[in-house]
Structure 1
Amino acid sequence: MKIATYNVNGVNGRLPVLLRWMEEAEPEIVCLQELKALDEKFPEHAIRDLGYDAIWQGQKSWNGVAILSRVGEIHETRRGLPGDPDDTHSRYIEAAVNGILIGGLYLPNGNPRPGPKFDYKLRWFERLHEHLAGLVALDAPVVIAGDYNVMPTAQDVYKPERWLDDALFAPEVREAYARLLDQGWTDALRHLHPHETIYTFWKYWRGAFERDAGLRIDHLLLNGPAARRLVAGEVDRAPRGWEKTSDHAPVWIELADKPVRRRRKTKEDT
């Protein structure tokens, strides 16, 4: 099963790009972020015409998340993180799809730092920790996918010295992400490609994409049962080069139908 995450940076303005990518890549499940549209403005019919079911949580001009599926009905289990009833941002949606629990998130940016937006980011991260602590030990596969707005290590950012004061690379934020991994979550792309330079976002200006001056901020975290089924994962860079496109690229993983038996290392491998 191919599961993808894509920050579309405006689902209606980038709809031709989204539909083209979905037709070409044929993911079974997609998590979308930054819809930037009210619920009634979500392009439901265009997405259903491609054969996808959909659930979404919109918000005018900002935020917004969705889960799409062409492998069965989407059974919504949650929208919004618990822990703050006054939080009105549309940043988290969760559903069971074809035997897999999918969480789609858009974690706050947090800039400028320090300040109220950064404080909100850290509080949101704490709520995420508490919620995911109850999901990581489930017997079923769980995938938490989206735009985390975190570069976990210096390996995940072009010229990290330029980002030392940014909320996406702040020590507190990287530590919060590391604590998720300590819970037992697996960073799918880094697990598959431990030594490669991987970026998922490039700013629009100064030819960042052409120079490959990017960031890795879009992640898929897997619990144990999901990680044991992981067979592939990549960044689909091509859509980032299309006209009127998002500043993010889609990221996808592939899960086998059952746990994968991995070959044990031999002396010849070391």
Structure 2
Amino acid sequence: MKIATWNVNSVRTRLEQVVGWLQDNPIDVLCLQETKVVDESFPRSAFTDLNYQVYAFGQKSYNGVALISRSPLSDVNVGFGAVLPESVVGDLDEQKRVITGVLDGVRVVNLYVPNGSSVGSDKYLYKLHWLKVLREYLEVLLQQSQNLLVCGDFNVALEDLDIHDPKGREKQVMATDAERAALRHVLDLGLSDVFRKFNQEGGQFSWWDYRTGAFRRNAGWRIDHHYATPDLYERSIACTIDTAPRKLTQPSDHTPVIVELSLS
């Protein structure tokens, strides 16, 4: 089973690139973030014409997540509110950032974690709170299934190895100690970084700022992740970053990260 995560930075703007990539890489599930489109306007036919199923949770101009699956998914639900009480979720689901479904006994959780904007800002505090609620959400899912693959754009570089130049990172959003601690608290549920199982070297990134020729200089960050529960982690046989889409004209600033799982 192959599952990819890709922040496409507008699925309609990047539709030709996403469809082309999917044709060249006929994976089982494609997890999209920043689709930036309401569900009624999602370009479903582009994917159903390729015999893929589409499950979307979106909003106009911002955020948005989707699951594009070769086979129908079971138990698809969206938002924290699908499993947590309103008293815990509050207004977090107003931003469309969470979608999940089950394929062949594997629950795929597709996330678009808030960026946080700037250290100490209201958006930064929102991000830390969002990650706290994420842990509670995953705790409930783990009671239902021990085979979780949690993937998406986490907007957190967990290690200095994940940043092209970590100098001063403790004052930079996506790499502060508080953000790393919040994500590690989530991972303490028993989730492991599948990419690092196979790739121990630096210089491997999934996001490059559009400015200052960052991609050309490989001045990137690794913020798009696959985290797996123990059995799935053991069953993972590969995890790769495909930089080819980032070389296209007017690409997303992110590129796909693909995990392969053995079903045996």
Aligned mate of 2:161, from 155, 163, 178: 155
Q: Which residue of 2 aligns with 1:219?
A: 225
Aligned positions of 1:97-116 closer than 5 A: 97-116=103-122
SS in 1 for 2:89: coil
Aligned mate of 1:135, from 128, 131, 141: 141
Relative to structure 2, which stretch is displaced further, 37-46 or 176-185?
176-185
Aligned positions of 1:196-215 closer than 5 A: 196-215=202-221
Q: Quote the Cα distance in structure 2 between the aligned partners of 1:78 and 1:123.
A: 21
SS in 2 for 1:105: strand
Q: Which residue of 1 aligns with 2:11?
A: 11
CA contact (8 A) 2:78 2:100 kept: yes
Q: Quote the Cα distance in structure 2 between the aligned partners of 1:107 and 1:147.
A: 6
Q: Which residue of 1 aligns with 2:63?
A: 63
* 1:145 has 2:151 as partner: yes
Deviation at 1:165, TM superposition (A): 2.0
Q: Quote the Cα distance in structure 2 between the aligned partners of 1:9 and 1:73.
A: 25
Structure 1 residues 139 and 119, CA gap change in structure 2 (3 angstroms): closer
Q: Quote the Cα distance in structure 2 between the aligned partners of 1:192 and 1:176.
A: 24
Q: Quote the Cα distance in structure 1 between the aligned partners of 2:103 and 2:4.
A: 13
Letter in 1 for 2:262: A
Map Cα deviations across residues 125-167 of structure 1 (whole Å, 9 max, x no partner): 0001112223346655211110000000110001111533222
Q: Quote the Cα distance in structure 1 between the aligned partners of 2:187 and 2:40.
A: 36
Q: Which residue of 2 aligns with 1:80?
A: 79
Aligned positions of 1:19-34 closer than 5 A: 19-34=19-34
Deviation at 1:97, TM superposition (A): 1.7
TM score, norm. by length of structure 2: 0.93
Aligned mate of 2:199, from 171, 193, 201: 193
Map Cα deviations across residues 224-252 of structure 1 (whole Å, 9 max, x no partner): 12112100010011011011210000000
CA contact (8 A) 1:65 1:106 kept: yes
* 1:41 has 2:41 as partner: yes
CA contact (8 A) 2:195 2:226 kept: yes
Q: Quote the Cα distance in structure 1 between the aligned partners of 2:24 and 2:8.
A: 16
Relative to structure 2, which stretch is displaced further, 13-22 or 171-180?
171-180
* 1:249 has 2:249 as partner: no
Q: Quote the Cα distance in structure 2 between the aligned partners of 1:128 and 1:108.
A: 11
Structure 1 residues 199 and 144, CA gap change in structure 2 (3 angstroms): same
CA contact (8 A) 1:133 1:183 kept: yes
Q: Quote the Cα distance in structure 1 between the aligned partners of 2:63 and 2:202.
A: 30
Q: Quote the Cα distance in structure 1 between the aligned partners of 2:59 and 2:53.
A: 20
CA contact (8 A) 2:237 2:261 kept: yes
Deviation at 1:90, TM superposition (A): 0.0
CA contact (8 A) 1:63 1:90 kept: yes
Q: Quote the Cα distance in structure 2 between the aligned partners of 1:218 and 1:229.
A: 20
CA contact (8 A) 2:131 2:186 kept: no
Give ranges in structure 1 of 5+ residues lacking alignment: 259-270
SS in 1 for 2:167: helix
Tell me the percent identity: 36
Q: Quote the Cα distance in structure 1 between the aligned partners of 2:228 and 2:37.
A: 29
Letter in 2 for 1:56: A
Map Cα deviations across residues 189-211 of structure 1 (whole Å, 9 max, x no partner): 01221234320000112111111
Deviation at 1:182, TM superposition (A): 2.1
Letter in 2 for 1:66: A
Q: Quote the Cα distance in structure 1 between the aligned partners of 2:236 and 2:116.
A: 31
CA contact (8 A) 1:139 1:225 kept: no
